[in-house]
Every structure is written in C-alpha cells, then in structure tokens.
C-alpha cells in the first residue's frame, strides 16, 4: 500500500524505480546503556526482465568503484562557500562553452533526430563526443515532448543552463547545481525500451550468510553489556561480508548503471546515519527509532508522476511531478535466509518513507545522486512513451545509429561487483537494526501503460508545440535552440 502523500489521479502509477533497503530490527536487552545499531549490506532485485558523472552541496559526493569492482563510500571534500563555488563554475562555463549555450533557459528545445545526426557526423569524422552533445545542451529536466510532423522530428524541451565540473569532477548546472541530462543515458534508455527490458541493479546478500546471521542472533540475543552488544553488531557485519552487486537491462559499466547503484548505496547510508541527508527535515531512520519488536524492513522508490497532459491529436505531452517517492514494507526472513512480505508494516517505517517522499525534491537538490536518478527516470519514461505511442514511426525515425553505436556513444567505467557490509549504532532503546538489502528496478513500460493521460482543455500545449516548431524552423540544421 502506498502510504506516501501524492497527487491523486484516476489510474495508479505502477512501479518504476525500486530501491529496496532491508532493515532487520532485533530487540536486545543491554545491561547499562541501551544501544541501537544498523548493519548495512545487500538485498535482492525485486524487478525481473521477462525476456531475458554534484551540485554545490560539497558533502554529496559519489561512490567510487575500483578495478576489482568493489564499491567504496562517497568521498568528501572541504565545503567551500556557495559564492566561491558559483564563481568557479561561472568561470569554467564561460571558458569552455559558447555564449548562447551558457545562457539560462526555461524552455530549451532538443531535436532528437538532429541530435542523432550530429552524433553520426562526429563518428564519421572520427571525433569524440563534445561536452555540448554529451550533456544535451545543459538540459536538466524533460518537461515536454513534441511531435514535429512538418520536419519529421521528435523534440524534447525543458529548463537548461551552462554547466561545468565541480570540485568533485561532477558536471553540474552553474545556477541550479543539478547535473544535466546525458547523451549516454539517453542512448541506454532507448536501447532498453527497444528491447522491452526492465532495467535495474541488485545488492545480494548470500542466502547462507543471512541464515548464519539469523542463527548467530538466535544464539546471542540475550541481555548483554554495551560493549558486548557493539561487538555483536560488528560480528554480524563480518558474517554478512561482501554483498554481490548485479546490474540488469543496461551495460553494467555505463553511467546509467552507476546512477542506479549509487542511488541505492546513498539511500542506505542516509538511512543508517553514515551519510548526512543534507537537509534538516530528513534524519536517519536510526535516529528516529525508539524501540519495538524484531522485524525486517524494505524501502524502495516508485514513480510519482502527475498525469501526462496531451493534445487531442496526441502530438504533444507534458511531464510533471517529482518523479520519485519512497515506499516501505515489513518483511520476514526465515532460518534459511529466505524472505517474504509480513502482514503489517510498523508506523515508524511508514512515517520514514512518507518523510523521505515529502522532501525528496529538496533532497535531490542537495544530492546529485538522487537528481540523476530523477534524470534517468525521465529518459527511460521518454523512451517508453515514444514506443507506446509509436511516435518514432509517425516521423519515420528508427534511431538506428543510437541503437547500433553503443560502443561509441556509451563510455564504460569499472563494473560494480561487490559492496561491503557497513554498520552503525547509537544509544537508544533496546533495539538492534541491521540493514541487509538494496536494489533498483526501472519498469518504464508499466508507467506509460498505467499512468493517466489527460487531454488539455485549452490550446496552451498546442501553442507551446507550435512555438517550439516555429522557432526551430529558422534553422533546421541545428539540433538545439531556445
């Protein structure tokens, strides 16, 4: 059940992104100061394929993946003043971008057909993808999709601005601090929806390790001193060990895959208090717990799109809503390490998910990881919508170059393979919490099939489409314009 606040529409939005995080809650009697602890590990992928680079918050960071595929915690840098960071970004953008590209725009348009053509020409000239193309002219959100029958084109539009690498070498907008959309993520999204795949990642604790942990808890779940309780928590982390990381539906070394993995990892670290949320409204789940019985909890993201608005001719569409919300479910893990849904979900679990959802937009402004998760959600829903409405067929566009030149268009990094178990604890009520799960699932086809489409009651959307096409008509060879 969705207990998170959201705008009501007639038909429910189905699962788009899930980032499950499993919390084992165990009541421990401590002699002396009571403790609460969390152990962070893996989980399993709740999605299934049936056929088959920070903003001005310098604490946000990003994961690192070494050559062996082991994920390590977000790195940190000294936090500079916003004014200093902004001046630095302005200087870099002015040095490396054209003046028109460096302008802030509320309504920048991108021709998908001309974008692909520009990429093809670059490949034919044996040239690398320039930043202007790689970062989609600074577009950082998709608000509109237009069908341009006159020029046989599909056009996306939304806010854009100049961009530059911040001190952590993440590309971000000069004004908003949000990461721009990426060409490689767009290409990966098209490829996944062309094949009808559910894309995702999974952090998998070995079942035998879960069983061993349950047995250890059964044997040691009696009264103990504070020091003994802490030792037990650390032992549990060692028992869980390294968690396997798998990526499905997308190239495992792609930026798209990195965003999926990083979003899950960041969620768990915030939940157990190892990474600050960056906003006062969201504390760690560990900080909010006061006591209760033993249980297992799962967190995951699902879409939070408002209804799509379209024209009577279905040749223009609006994207709106905050894109993602957090949901929760209690689970049971048996002695063999197998998981199943529990009959009830405790109030503290539900409230944490609701709070995370309520302030998710603000959180995404602080953590580029979550902003990028919003971005790949938009791109994947875009690809699914084009396929559902057969818009590419209407304009005679097969995006063949995007489909066949993944090696050129999608750079590959280290493939994430393992993540270490992490542990945190606090002095509180007699409660031990162990986080042993995670993953992300993107099912964009279900979103566009089940989200409501509302026909615009006036000509506002038609006017937007016509203005975009008319302005584009002044230069039909350019792939982006304001």
- Phi, psi torsion values for 447, nearest 5 degrees: -65, -50
Q: Is the pLDDT of residue 17 over 60?
A: no
Q: How far apart are alpha carbons 310 and 401 in whole angstroms?
A: 29
> Percent of the chain, pLDDT > 70?
74
Which segments of 295-399 does DSSP mark as H helices, in order? 347-358, 360-366, 368-389, 391-394
Mean of pLDDT values over 409-432: 79
* Cα–chain center distance at 174: 21
Q: What is the pLDDT of residues 53-71, one digit of tens each?
A: 333 332 334 678 888 888 8
First and final CA of the chain: distance in angstroms? 43
Q: Is the pLDDT of residue 437 over 60?
A: no
pLDDT at residue 473 in the model: 61
The number of beta carbons lying within 10 Å of the beta carbon of residue 407 is 9
Mean of pLDDT values over 288-317: 77
Distances (CA, A) of 402 to 162, 181, 192, 310: 25, 16, 12, 27
Q: Is the pLDDT of residue 42 over 70?
A: no
Q: How far apart are alpha carbons 32 and 47 in whole angstroms?
A: 44
Strand partners, 418: 70, 244
Q: CA neighbours within 13 Å on the CB side: how many for 38?
A: 27
pTM of the model: 0.84
3-state secondary structure of 305: strand
State the DSSP string of 44-86: ------TT----S-TT----EE-TT-BEEPPP------HHHHH
- Among the ranges given (137-151, 338-352, 362-376, 382-396), the one the predictor scored with the smallest mean pLDDT: 338-352
Q: What is the pLDDT of residues 75-105, one digit of tens each?
A: 554 445 567 788 999 999 999 999 999 999 9
What mean pLDDT value characterizes the chain?
Answer: 79
Q: Where are the beta strands (DSSP E) in 123-261?
A: 144-148, 153-160, 163-165, 171-173, 199-204, 224-225, 242-248
Q: What is the pLDDT of residues 206-220, one digit of tens each?
A: 888 888 888 888 888
pLDDT at residue 28 in the model: 45
pLDDT at residue 275 in the model: 86
């Amino acid at each position: 059940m969705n207990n998170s606040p959201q705008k009501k529409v007639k038909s429910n939005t189905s699962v788009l992104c899930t980032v499950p995080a499993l919390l084992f809650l165990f009541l421990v009697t401590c002699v002396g100061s009571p403790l609460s602890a969390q152990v962070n590990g893996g989980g399993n992928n709740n999605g299934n394929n049936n056929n088959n680079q920070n903003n001005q918050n310098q604490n946000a960071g990003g994961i690192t993946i070494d050559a062996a595929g082991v994920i390590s915690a977000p790195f940190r840098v000294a936090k500079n003043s916003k004014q200093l960071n902004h001046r630095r970004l302005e200087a870099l953008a002015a040095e490396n971008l054209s003046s028109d590209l460096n302008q802030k725009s509320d309504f920048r348009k991108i021709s998908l057909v001309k974008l692909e053509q520009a990429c093809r020409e670059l490949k034919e000239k044996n040239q690398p993808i320039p930043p202007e193309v790689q970062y989609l002219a600074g577009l950082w959100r998709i608000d509109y999709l237009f069908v341009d029958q006159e020029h046989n084109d599909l056009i996306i539009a939304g806010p854009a601005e100049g961009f530059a690498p911040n001190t952590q070498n993440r590309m971000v907008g000069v004004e908003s601090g949000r990461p721009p959309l990426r060409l490689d993520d767009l290409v990966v999204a098209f490829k996944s929806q062309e094949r009808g795949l559910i894309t995702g990642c999974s952090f998998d604790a070995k079942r035998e390790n879960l069983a061993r942990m349950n047995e250890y808890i059964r044997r040691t779940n009696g009264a103990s001193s504070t020091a003994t309780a802490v030792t037990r928590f650390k032992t549990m982390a060692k028992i869980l060990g390294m968690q396997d990381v798998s990526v499905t539906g997308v190239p495992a070394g792609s930026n798209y895959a990195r965003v999926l993995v990083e979003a899950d990892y960041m969620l768990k670290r915030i939940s157990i208090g190892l990474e600050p949320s960056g906003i006062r409204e969201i504390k760690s789940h560990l900080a909010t717990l006061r006591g209760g019985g033993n249980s297992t909890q799962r967190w995951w993201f699902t879409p939070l799109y408002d209804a799509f608005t379209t024209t009577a001719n279905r040749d223009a569409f609006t994207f709106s809503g905050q894109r993602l919300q957090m949901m929760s479910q209690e689970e049971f893990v048996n002695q063999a390490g197998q998981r199943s849904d529990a009959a009830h979900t405790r109030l503290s679990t539900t409230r944490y998910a609701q709070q995370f959802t309520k302030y998710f937009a603000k959180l995404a402004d602080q953590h580029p990881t979550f902003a990028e998760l919003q971005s790949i959600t938009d791109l994947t829903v875009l690809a699914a919508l084009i396929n559902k409405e057969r818009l590419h067929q209407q304009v005679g566009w097969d995006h063949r170059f995007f489909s066949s030149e993944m090696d050129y268009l999608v750079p590959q990094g280290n493939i994430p393979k393992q993540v270490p178990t992490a542990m945190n604890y606090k002095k509180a009520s007699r409660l031990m919490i162990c986080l042993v799960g995670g993953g992300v699932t993107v099912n964009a086809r279900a979103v566009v099939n089940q989200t409501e489409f509302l026909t615009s009651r006036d000509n506002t959307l038609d006017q937007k489409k016509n203005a975009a096409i008319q302005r584009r008509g002044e230069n039909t060879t350019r792939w982006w314009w304001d």
